[in-house]
Structure 1
Amino acid sequence: MENVVLICVLMTLLHLLWQVFFRKNKRDSHERAKLPPGSMGWPYIGETLQLYSQDPNVFFATKQRRYGDIFKTHILGCPCVMLASPEAARFVLVTQSHLFKPTYPKSKEKFIGPSALFFHQGDYHFRMRKLVQGPLSPDAIRNLVTDIEVLAVSALESWVGNKVINTFQEMKKISFEVGILAIFGRLESHYRKELKKNYSILEKGYNSFPTKIPGTPYKKALSARKRLSEILSTIIRERKEKRSIEKDLLGCLLNAKDDKGEVLTEGQIADNIIGVLFAAQDTTASVMTWILKYLHDDPKLLEAVKAEQKAIYMSNEEAHHPLTWTQTRNMPITYKVVLESLRMASIISFTFREAVTDVEYKGYLIPKGWKVMPLFRNIHHNPDFFSNPQKFDPSRFETAPKPYTFMPFGSGVHSCPGYDLAKLEMLIMTHHLVTKFSWEVVGSQSGIQYGPFPIPLQGLPARFWRESTS
């Protein structure tokens, strides 16, 4: 008996010694590690003013040239580590993603909703991502081709005439309608109108200064968010009463049950619907605006895309038959234009993560609580991965890019679940644009503005007309 007790005591002592040794080594390792090089700027405001007083991409590129692919800064009230290499992006987003949680300012989370999947990680995120991905997968969206086509043609027809349109704003209207289609199927027009009106108010306040003073964009946005919840609650209640099993996103969320047989709350459903709308609209509209500009600026490329799409158009007896899913999978030139537009524009320039513990990477310490930002645009515009990166050249995608050098929709468990729908929308829009219409850009044909996504100056004002079919 005494021997057993002695052994237990010895084992306990060995365990304690191991814990002390392990923790000391871990602490010593972190003490040996140093913060990445870089500048933190002024107290509290850091380098936020420098970031927003110039092209953000110039700010990050200048830092990268000076400090390398890993550097620190202080922006938006947070100490940050910037990562501008494929290996670092893979480390944060894929192989060690459990060490970094998604993070957004609280004001943004309040607008979209705290239950939206991209604010979470772990079991809840895994479950919600699986639910959202289902109706946005290729197998599901292949049934939306004809409906998206109707939306695209209707929008383009409305642009024709001597009027000058804001291309980006018009593209946003299309993307919103496609988002509604994927979420609700054929939603009644008065609900679409109310959702659109209140979402527009919400969007205007999203990047405004967070103050609850009456009349401010932020306060108006909070009120619009409340109304959106009420509208969605009515739609959900009506769908439940019908007891129909729909395959759209709302149907999937309504019919989902966890291991205990519990269903999602109306709040969880509403937050994830608004999250999908938020993710679907501006980003897709921005890329489609850039596609239009890049084709306009390269007549030779435009003719090649026209030839490819005209062949499909003629095979459909000049649009007497709708586009098919198979046809959208067989547009090699146009698809490379989409990919190159995604690379050049890099609408999502970076993503936010937060270290949940002290993390050491390549001899540098990323302290717990610091923001970590993989810089997608810097990687996409790195000449080591894409030769002559400032040139628009779709032929570069004749061969697949190296892993983690092309991440237009992010990477890992938090990559955009709607990327297949976005690409389908771009292909359908381009098909009808080049086969039936011509356009000219009005005013300045260069320059970029940020709001917050990069778009051509003034939303690319343009004039459209219908081409002769003779």
Structure 2
Amino acid sequence: MVALLLVVGLAVSFLVACSALLRWNEVRYRKQGLPPGTMGWPVFGETTEFLKQGPSFMKNQRLRYGSLFKSHILGCPTVVCMDPELNRFVLMNEGKGFVPGYPQSMLDILGRSNIAAVHGELHKTMRSAMLGLVSSPMIRDKLLPRIDEFMRSYIDDWSGSVIDIQEKTKEMALMSALKQIASIGTGPVSESLKTEIFKLVLGTLSLPINIPGTNYYRGFKARKNLVSLLRRLIEERRISRCSYDDMLDSLLRADDSSKVKLSDEQIIDLIIALVYSGYETVSTTSMMAVKYLHDHPRVLEELRSEHLEIRKSKSREDGIDWSDYKTMKFTRAVILETLRMATVVNGVLRKTTKDVAMKVPKGWRIYVYTREINYDPLMYPEPLTFNPWRWLDKNLDSHRHFMLFGGGGRMCPGKELGTAEIATFLHYFVSRYRWEEVGGHSILKFPRVQAPNGLHIRVWDNQDQIVESSSEL
């Protein structure tokens, strides 16, 4: 009996303590004029719900509090904005009370010179350096031939294999980036980098708690290992004085007469940012494009027609060039519609430098949640329908669609490079494989090469759930 009373007493004390902590955190951030909302636990806030529930968390909070509500996510007191007009105002007015507001975990792991985090003159310098690496002439003359060579080799290796399309597109995006940035091919170095980058990506979206076992701890350790590997690579390049004709080579060749001169630390942060930013967008868009093509045979047929027309004048060994890429109008439309439907970019964070009219105090973060805009029927008629044709008569540089790429003055400078990578992947994917319905299952086969087996794929959605499975022939 005494033991039972002790257990009950401990349980009641625990519940009272939890209730007191929750209440204290609400009172701590109570300020007149703030939007409604909940702050969750001290330190942790509502990060777990935010990361695990994703869009469901946002919808539930909006139903309770409206399109503007407060929360505590990723270690920061934050106002979440789901109003389209307010979101446009925030993104188009950087420098007028708003600066990048990425969480501490991302700042620590991607580096203080990460282009997404800096502002003012340093942002202009970093952006200028990045634009020099991913400009249209650079893509046309240097990067596209590398991308083409890599994609041909990578996709041909799928012949007769059972593959997981989510795993393969992640690996594809990363290996393609390493090839372009530092001429790193398959081998021990790429395997080491791949392992560390996967840990780094997970660490950027976590609470900044530096305790062994946490994603932040693993991500921060991965950053240290990456910096060490890249510093060693830079030193080897300088000693050898060989020309590699890649992005790293371009950065290291800059001298005092160049407009843009970066320190080794800034070069390393720029390389990490290039890998990080392209990795998630290219891999997720490529994966989801496969799913949507599978679900929409008419779109697949139109896309195949475009790419088979390009291949008419080429042998199997011939690659594609810039003029081929520029003719891929329907392919671009498929990529944009995939970005819209899959909401690869859910939102961005800004930090206030002064009290702003949106009831956000100085120093707070604003999470500009752009996902809902992608399904706005005023912008996109029948928004839940996958319809690439909607993009063919639009000005693709129009500000109406800037949120697909990150928004405002922070629009991703590498979006053309990412588009070229995905387009090249789709070119070889749809021209060398074809779907057939066999016994109720979708089979991918080589159209021009004798292969003993089909290609079995598992397609995943952006909630990491299997949404379609095919069987091996």
Give TM-score, length-normalised by structure 1: 0.79
In structure 2, how many angstroms separate the alpha carbons of the residues matched to 1:372 and 1:217? Answer: 24
- Per the alignment, residue 297 of structure 2 pairs with 299
1:427 lines up with 2:426 in the alignment: no
Q: In the alignment, residue 231 of structure 2 is paired with which amino acid?
A: S
Among candidates 291, 316, 321, match of residue 318 of structure 2: 321
Matched residue SS, 1:132? helix
Whether contact under 8 Å (2:196, 2:226) holds in the other structure is: yes
AA partner of residue 283 (structure 1): T
Contact 2:329 2:392 (8 Å CA) reproduced: no
Preserved CA contact (<8 Å) 2:175 2:185: no
SS at match of 1:427: helix
1:170 aligns with 2:168: yes
Q: Aligned partners of 1:262, 1:433: CA distance in 2, in Å?
A: 38
Structure 2 counterpart of 1:276, which letter?
Answer: L
Question: C-alpha deviations, 1:331-368, integer Å up to 9, x for none?
Answer: 122211111001111111000111011112xxx32210
What's 1:138 paired with?
136
Match of 2:378 among 384, 387, 394: 384
Report what 2:345 is aligned to. Answer: 348
Q: 2:330 aligns with which of 319, 328, 333?
A: 333
Contact 1:438 1:464 in 2 (8 A): no
Does the 8 Å CA contact 1:133/1:417 hold for their aligned counterparts?
A: yes
Return the alpha-carbon distance in structure 2 between the equivalents of residues 260 and 248 of structure 1.
18
- Name the counterpart of 2:151: 152
Match of 2:447 in 1: none
CA deviation after TM superposition for structure 1 residue 146, in Å: 2.5
Structure 1 residue aligned with 2:391: 397
CA contact (8 A) 1:254 1:263 kept: no
| Contact kept? 1:351, 1:374, Cα under 8 Å | yes
Where relative contact order (Cα < 8 A, 6+ residues apart) is larger, the structure is: 1
* Cα distance in 2 for residues equivalent to 1:459 and 1:240: 49
Question: 2:414: which partner in 1?
Answer: 418
Aligned to 2:160: 161
| Aligned counterparts, 1:422-461, within 5 A | 422-438=418-434, 440=442, 448-449=462-463, 456-458=464-466
Q: Cα–Cα, structure 1 residues 171 and 124, in superposed 2: closer, same or farther, change >3 Å?
A: same
Report the equivalent of 1:20. Answer: none
Q: 2:197 — aligned with what? A: 199
Contact 2:352 2:364 in 1 (8 A): yes
Please tell me whether the aligned partners of residues 159 and 464 of structure 1 are also in contact (alpha carbons under 8 angstroms). Answer: no
Deviation at 1:77, TM superposition (A): 4.1
For the structure 1 residues 81 and 227, does the alpha-carbon distance in structure 2 shift closer, same or farther, using more than 3 Å as the test?
Answer: closer
Pick aligned residue for 2:107 from 106, 109, 118: 109
1:463 and 1:154 map into 2 onto residues whose CA distance is 24
TM-score, with normalisation over the residues of structure 2?
Answer: 0.79
Question: Aligned letter for 1:457?
Answer: Q
Over 3 Å counting, the alpha-carbon distance change for 1:53 and 1:325 in structure 2 is: closer
- The question of whether the paired residues in 1 share the 8 Å contact of 2:125 and 2:260 is answered with no
SS in 1 for 2:381: coil
CA shift digits 1:56-77 (9 cap, x unpaired): 2233345556655544444334
Mapped to 2, the partners of 1:129 and 1:262 lie a distance apart of 10
Alignment-derived partner of residue 10 in structure 1: none
Query: Structure 2 vs 1, CA of residues 282 and 84 (structure 1 numbering), >3 Å: closer, same or farther?
Result: same
> May I ask how many residue pairs the two structures share in their alignment?
421
Between 103-112 and 191-200, the greater mean CA deviation after superposition: 191-200
In structure 2, distance between residues paired with 1:464 and 1:155: 20
In the TM superposition, what is the alpha-carbon distance from 1:188 to its structure 2 partner? Answer: 8.8
Q: Please, which runs of 5 or more residues in structure 1 have no aligned partner?
A: 1-32, 450-455, 466-470
CA 162–98 in structure 1, closer or farther in 2 if over 3 Å, else same: same
Question: In structure 2, do the counterparts of structure 1 residues 77 and 109 end up closer, same or farther at CA, with 3 Å as the change threshold?
Answer: closer
